[in-house]
Amino acid sequence: METKKKGDICESLVCDHLISLGYEVLARNYRCPYGEIDIISLSDKGILCVTEVKSLTARWPSDDIRYMVSPQKQHRLRKTLESFLSSDSKVRFKGIRFDVATVTGGKVTYYYGDDF
C-alpha cells in the first residue's frame, strides 16, 4: 500500500478514536514552513492535543514510544503549533499536551503526554 494512503487511513482511525472519547478534531495534517502536525484536537477537558501518528508493523513496548519522536521532531512540532495558534486565535484551551498514537494491524494505541 502507498505510504501516503496508509498514513491517511491510520490518521482517520486515530481521529475516530479521539472523537469517540469526546475530542474535537481541529486540524489534520496542518502544515507550515516549520513542519507538519498530524492531528490537532481539543479534549473534553479543554486540553489542546498535538498528536503524532505512527503506523507500525509490530507493537513496540510502551517505554520505547517516547523514542519515536526525536528531540528535533519535538522542536518542529512546537514551532508548528506556534504557527497554528497564531493563525487561529479563536482556539481556547486550558493547557497543551503532546501525544503519540500508534496503529498496528488497524488497532489504535494512544499514549498521552504530559500536560503543560
pTM for this structure? 0.88
Q: Are 22 and 44 in contact (CB under 8 A)?
A: yes
Looking at residue 10, the DSSP 8-state letter turns out to be: H
* Under 8 Å between Cβ of 51 and 38: yes
Residues in Cβ contact with 46 at an 8 Å cutoff, skipping those fewer than 6 apart: 92, 93, 94, 95
Q: Count H helices and E strands in the chain, helices first.
A: 2, 5
Tens-digit pLDDT profile for the chain (116 aa)?
577 787 789 999 999 999 999 999 999 999 999 999 999 999 999 999 999 998 877 666 656 666 778 888 889 999 999 999 998 668 889 999 999 998 988 899 999 987 55
**Cell 498521552 identifies what position?**
112
CATH number for the domain whose boundaries are 3-111? 3.40.1350.10
pLDDT at 79: 96
Q: What pLDDT is recorded for position 7? A: 79
